[in-house]
Structure 1
Amino acid sequence: MPATPAEPQPLPRSLVPLPDETLPGFILRLSHRLDQSPGQLMRLAGLTNSANPSNAAPVRHLVMLQPAPLETFARLTRLTPEEAQALTLRRFSGRDPAVTELLQRPGGNQHSRMTVPPWLLLNSSRYCPRCLAGDGTDVQDRHGGPWKLQWRLATVFACLEHGILLEHLCPACHHPPFGNHGREKRRLLVSAIGEAGLHPAQCRNGVLAERGAQTCGGRLDTATARPLRPELASLQTKILDVLESGTEPTAAASISDLQITAAIVAGTWPLSAVHAPFDLPPALDALLDRRNAIRADVRWDAPPRDADLTAALLSAADALLVQPRAIFWQNLNRILPAAVPQSSGHWGQTWTRLREQCSPTFRLDVEHSAANRIPKPPRKRQPKPFADPPLPVGQHGFLPEHIPQRLPTSWMRILFDHGAQESWQDSVNMRFRRTAAVDLIRAATGVSFPEAARFLGISASRVHRHDSWLSTTTRHYPRRRDHQQALTEAFAVLAQHIARTTEEPANYHHRRLQLTLWHLPTDEWHTILTQLPPVDGDHSTDPGRDVHLGASAHIWATITGSEWGLAPCFEPPLTKNPTLTIPGWPQHAVLERLHNPAGSRFWGILRKILDEYTQRLTQKIDASIA
């Protein structure tokens, strides 16, 4: 489609992104090639806040480019949207728990502060001096090598290509690159945005000098390289294999296990030091020996800033973690009595992330050991307990990943035909559907109601109940007891039906993970529009944003077996403000027409095209299961 007057025209010259390059690194190299300031380039690319006179681009663009700036940036730089998005940390979503946590966190207002998980480096970057110096090709000799995405993950402490540890400070100003030092205190994508003459490998930190504040300008590609020990190279290789090609969500759980173990090592120092596979640097001992003089700002769930210390801490954690399960448990039981209570702020989010992100076996072992040896945090006041699932916990012939978020109508019909109250179809239909899906997960896993809802991708606020939904139909206890018994029998019939399904069951959990932040790409939507009929009544070949959103939600809901209103295209971070999909609103009307296109040539053809697209995408996602 031709660009509108408000859209920037593609630059006459651009660059091919280097492997694993970050968005700010690409901007620095491209602005250096064009001999203009990074601020000018980012303003053209739509990355800055037009209302901000300093034209500062927020660091959130490094996490993910939202649809509007993604399209503008890709057009300006002559990249595809996929190439542009590959410059962000989104590629690690699903494998790195810190990235996944930040992307899945509900969005606040535009002035809210971004709370960054401790193992994600958004306010600075580690770096390899030899990578920044370039590989000897003409383009890298002129504009430098890549600032790599891996360097923003705190679990990455080494450059395996050059066999050296990463650096975290500028040798000139002794501050981390890309930090908010000097007068600028915001988290920015690129600092010193008005400086046009700096090389991409020069430090852009603000420093104080005799003549006032100025940019550091120190060369980072000349920093002294520190050799990498072979055992640390092996550990880094193992971690990178998980981050780059591990199977979701197992990969994220294994990284979480390592990070939580690192917090336990830090919180039980020096007892845990005996598990280190080699002599640790004295600086780590000085950093972690806090139990006799704890400072208020110490957090054991945050990694050291120095890559050398992070490597040593992770090696101690890995040595503890790879022990046989019985020995691992014995070691936990030995070191945990020296730890402070779980309620201490020095643990940070250790115990929360243990519950939400770690592998089940690891979580069970750690929780069991910790519960017997260090006090638990005080319980928060909870509403009335959730009712037990109608189906007792056990082996029922189905796996939790085979349960969709929104149970199919055929499954609901089984419940209604075998004991569920017909009145629930009208009075509590949506709530009953959600609760039934959650209860099937609970029956298969034994987890709590909120945990089962989280597994399904449903927010707790959408399934929260102060009492069993049985009480919504009657408060007469004997009658409610009879309803409970009938419902148990109905769920047993449904479980048998699910288990007897002859077709290969869909892995809805895998599909939801793959499409966590999915929306129908703009270029593919434009391709779909070219297949639509010409003007048909009030419809044109460009029906507008609401139809695009509705198509995204329809495809997502069909593949994941979910509700329209929970589609990521309606929620942050894909949209600034959550879009309502309630009856009477345009988005809901679009979804209703897509669901039932009878009587309209336009909607019928669009539905057919979307069904074909859905089938292709489903096959691609299902084939990606390792």
Structure 2
Amino acid sequence: MRPLPRSLDPLPDEPLTGFLLRLAYRLDLTPARLIELTGLGRFPAIHELHLPDDIAATFAHAARLTATEVRQLCLSGWQDRYPPLDLDYRHTDPAIGHRYRANPSLPPGLAGWLFSRSTRYCPLCLADDTPDTGTPVIGRWRKLWRLPPVFACTDHKIMLAHACPGCGTALHDRANRSLSAIPSADRRQHPARCRAHARRTTAPCAAMLTDTPGVAAPPDLLALQQRLLSGLHLRPDDLDGDSDHRPAHEFLYDLRVMTALVRASWPLASHATTSPGKYSLTRHITELERQHTGGRNDAVVHAGLPTQSAICARLLAHAEHLTIALDDTDLITGLLLHAELRPAWFRYLRSAVPACSARLQALLEPRLREHFPPPRPESRTSRRSGITRRPLRHTSFVNTAFGFEARHVPQIFDATVIAPLAGLVGPALAPRQVHRFAATRLVMAAENCSARAASTLLGLPVHAGAHATAQLRHWAERHHRAIELQHALLEIADRLTATGDLIDYQRRRTALQHWPLPETEWNTLVSWQFDENIEHGPTFANLGEHGRLVASIVIWTQTTHGDHRATPLLHTPDRHERARSLAGAASNVNSLVKFRRASARWTHLLPVLLDYSRVLAHSIDVGSDPFVPQSAKW
């Protein structure tokens, strides 16, 4: 590879892409031709982060640079001070030659704290022909603009822009048109012009990025930017030194956890500070809620920093305030309780907390120990039989931070408890779905389990919880009420805890799993009603076995606070042969319990059945374990 006839000296904090754009413009070449002449191959995006040793040596020889200068052009030169850049670059890929993997020694999910496909920019820096080096330059790009925590230019005191003023496309976004890190590399144009293809045209936009009017950065955000650069060891003085970067790493990890806490506990976190910009943050979090489809990767918890500088700055301002206010136990505990309603929150903490500062670990590790069970013993294979015995999955762990456990959650809530969610949804959905959604989400949060597992713990059909969750999510997405929905769930959790002595509904459901109203008790009820209501005597006498089934379902519904459609009596092995009778019984129970609308005979029986259910519930709650239902003494 022959050296170029002329070259340029790299500027401080200049990325490899910016150097290639400046050099191509100076030599009157297209970036693609310059990439070919310097031995960079296709110049994939990975090469902007790190150049393999063989390619780096070839490029240094062709561009008349030293090995140190080439190393400083790549972002991997900062991998010791900025953890998202600390990647494993040793792997190869047949398509592009090289790629990278996450460092297994670091917490997962750091990719959102690095702009690998686009960049921010300062229009005044791009237009400055005489920077601090005193050498005239054209279109100076900076490596710092690739880091999401850098949202303002401290030299010109303006906010960084993230999109082209002409086409609105993110800067240097390849948009899947090419593997090259430089879009439209076959075009010869000024380094400060946009290279995105506007509106699917064949020619790039070519708008001058220096024409963007700079937005003055508020003084509080400028001060925040200075503190972030200092805490991350990214000031100009720090970039030239080799000081201990462990405090900077812990500062970044603390900031990352607090950023996730702000989003997961929004809008409650909005009251923690008086910082402006709450409306823009609400729109950002609502958009993340729309992206969340209910899987394990909750976008609100796991997303990186937004590209818009103003929104990113306000989010980091809230996170920094919480990092400083860790001693305010009431504030942090309230936000954590709100965030813990999201099933993905504890999984996120388990991977993120070990890398945080000792101060934050001391606050969060006790909650993790309460939530997660001890490690499961390993599977063992018998040498004699060859059978592998796996221990049963431990499912008794509970998140006690809520004040209740999964066994305290009923299938149907009292009207005062469900009121926040019922008032929010209104008549848009069936009340049964509203109750099932609330019960499923509370059990999922308390047990850190799936919707299917929560339905099983509640005694509901296995798909009932997931179906109700999907319906409520779709409603919230259509009406943009995702945040209000989360707030209503938190209010229901508070009201359930505030009811006083919590009831073990799971114990009641287990005790009545195979329980019908004893025939002797049923005959006693009917005979008693016959004595009190002589005029309805023949009617009571004709209720028969069907009447005993309806009475059993009514008592089960009232005792367990359950949904009559989920009673075990309607799901017996012979349910297919008794389908007509069971359907009629369910219909009678629905009219009797829900609407208090039935024939005269059931109107007279209902108060007695309710009294019977109260006595039966008390006997289950105070009875021995396991409780064996007997005739209630009433």
* TM-score, normalising length: structure 2: 0.52
CA contact (8 A) 2:4 2:63 kept: yes
- Residues 167-190 of structure 1: per-residue CA shift (max 9 Å, x gap): 111111111111022x5164x321
* CA deviation after TM superposition for structure 1 residue 69, in Å: 1.2
Q: Hey, what's the Cα distance between the residues in 2 that align with 1:125 and 1:352?
A: 31
Q: Hey, what's the Cα distance between the residues in 2 that align with 1:253 and 1:105?
A: 23
For 2:29, the equivalent position in structure 1 comes to: 36
For 2:631, the equivalent position in structure 1 comes to: none
CA contact (8 A) 1:129 1:222 kept: yes
Q: Indicate yes or no: 2:190 matched with 1:199.
A: yes
CA contact (8 A) 2:130 2:137 kept: no
- CA-based RMSD of the aligned residues comes to 3.1
Q: Hey, what's the Cα distance between the residues in 1 that align with 2:281 and 2:362?
A: 29
Q: Match for 2:171: what amino acid?
A: P
* CA deviation after TM superposition for structure 1 residue 365, in Å: 1.4
Q: Match for 2:62: what amino acid?
A: L
Q: Indicate yes or no: 2:199 matched with 1:208.
A: yes
For 1:12, the equivalent position in structure 2 comes to: 5
* CA deviation after TM superposition for structure 1 residue 281, in Å: 4.7
Q: Indicate yes or no: 2:46 matched with 1:60.
A: yes
Ranges in structure 2 where 5+ consecutive residues have no aligned partner: 102-109, 381-634
- Residues 430-469 of structure 1: per-residue CA shift (max 9 Å, x gap): xxxxxxxxxxxxxxxxxxxxxxxxxxxxxxxxxxxxxxxx
Q: Secondary structure at the match of 2:58?
A: helix
CA contact (8 A) 1:32 1:199 kept: yes
Q: Secondary structure at the match of 1:226?
A: coil
Q: Hey, what's the Cα distance between the residues in 2 that align with 1:83 and 1:293?
A: 45
Larger radius of gyration: 2
- Residues 108-131 of structure 1: per-residue CA shift (max 9 Å, x gap): 644597677101001000000000
- 2:91 pairs, out of 107, 112, 127, with 107
Q: Indicate yes or no: 2:64 matched with 1:72.
A: no
For 2:339, the equivalent position in structure 1 comes to: 339
| Cα separation, partners in 2 of 1:140 and 1:164, compared to 1, 3 Å | same
For 2:208, the equivalent position in structure 1 comes to: 219
CA contact (8 A) 1:239 1:255 kept: no
Q: Match for 1:287: what amino acid?
A: H
* CA deviation after TM superposition for structure 1 residue 219, in Å: 1.1
* CA deviation after TM superposition for structure 1 residue 351, in Å: 2.8
Q: Secondary structure at the match of 1:118?
A: helix
CA contact (8 A) 1:92 1:243 kept: no
Higher helix share: 2
CA contact (8 A) 2:272 2:331 kept: no
Q: Hey, what's the Cα distance between the residues in 2 that align with 1:340 and 1:381?
A: 23
Q: Secondary structure at the match of 2:198?
A: strand
Matches within 5 A, 1:263-412: 263-289=260-286, 295-296=292-293, 298-301=299-302, 302-323=304-325, 325-327=326-328, 329-340=329-340, 343-344=343-344, 350-351=348-349, 353-369=351-367, 383=378
| Cα separation, partners in 2 of 1:288 and 1:77, compared to 1, 3 Å | same
CA contact (8 A) 1:177 1:203 kept: yes
For 2:68, the equivalent position in structure 1 comes to: 82
- 2:14 pairs, out of 4, 15, 21, with 21
| Cα separation, partners in 2 of 1:384 and 1:295, compared to 1, 3 Å | closer
For 2:227, the equivalent position in structure 1 comes to: 238
| Cα separation, partners in 2 of 1:260 and 1:108, compared to 1, 3 Å | farther
| Cα separation, partners in 2 of 1:73 and 1:379, compared to 1, 3 Å | farther
CA contact (8 A) 1:143 1:199 kept: no
| Cα separation, partners in 2 of 1:10 and 1:99, compared to 1, 3 Å | same
User: Is 294-303 or 67-76 further displaced after alignment?
Assistant: 294-303
For 2:249, the equivalent position in structure 1 comes to: 252
- Residues 147-177 of structure 1: per-residue CA shift (max 9 Å, x gap): 1000101111110000011011111111111
* CA deviation after TM superposition for structure 1 residue 74, in Å: 1.1
Q: Hey, what's the Cα distance between the residues in 2 that align with 1:217 and 1:65?
A: 28
Q: Secondary structure at the match of 1:263?
A: helix
User: Is 126-135 or 359-368 further displaced after alignment?
Assistant: 359-368
Q: Secondary structure at the match of 1:147?
A: coil
CA contact (8 A) 1:166 1:307 kept: yes
- 2:217 pairs, out of 212, 222, 228, with 228
Q: Secondary structure at the match of 2:8?
A: coil
CA contact (8 A) 1:11 1:77 kept: yes
CA contact (8 A) 1:263 1:350 kept: no
| Cα separation, partners in 2 of 1:216 and 1:138, compared to 1, 3 Å | farther
Q: Hey, what's the Cα distance between the residues in 2 that align with 1:105 and 1:350?
A: 25
Q: Secondary structure at the match of 2:202?
A: strand
| Cα separation, partners in 2 of 1:331 and 1:348, compared to 1, 3 Å | closer
Q: Hey, what's the Cα distance between the residues in 1 that align with 2:190 and 2:89?
A: 36
Q: Hey, what's the Cα distance between the residues in 1 that align with 2:279 and 2:6?
A: 50
- 1:45 pairs, out of 23, 38, 44, with 38
Q: Indicate yes or no: 2:83 matched with 1:97.
A: yes
User: Is 8-17 or 292-301 further displaced after alignment?
Assistant: 292-301
| Cα separation, partners in 2 of 1:32 and 1:292, compared to 1, 3 Å | closer
CA contact (8 A) 2:224 2:317 kept: yes
* CA deviation after TM superposition for structure 1 residue 18, in Å: 1.4
Q: Indicate yes or no: 2:261 matched with 1:261.
A: no
Q: Secondary structure at the match of 2:301?
A: coil
* CA deviation after TM superposition for structure 1 residue 310, in Å: 0.5
Q: Match for 2:204: what amino acid?
A: T
* TM-score, normalising length: structure 1: 0.52
Count residues in correspondence.
Answer: 357
CA contact (8 A) 2:288 2:299 kept: no
* CA deviation after TM superposition for structure 1 residue 107, in Å: 3.1
CA contact (8 A) 2:198 2:204 kept: yes
| Cα separation, partners in 2 of 1:125 and 1:85, compared to 1, 3 Å | same
| Cα separation, partners in 2 of 1:35 and 1:293, compared to 1, 3 Å | closer
* CA deviation after TM superposition for structure 1 residue 363, in Å: 2.6
- Residues 91-119 of structure 1: per-residue CA shift (max 9 Å, x gap): 2212212112xx24773644597677101
Ranges in structure 1 where 5+ consecutive residues have no aligned partner: 1-7, 49-55, 386-626
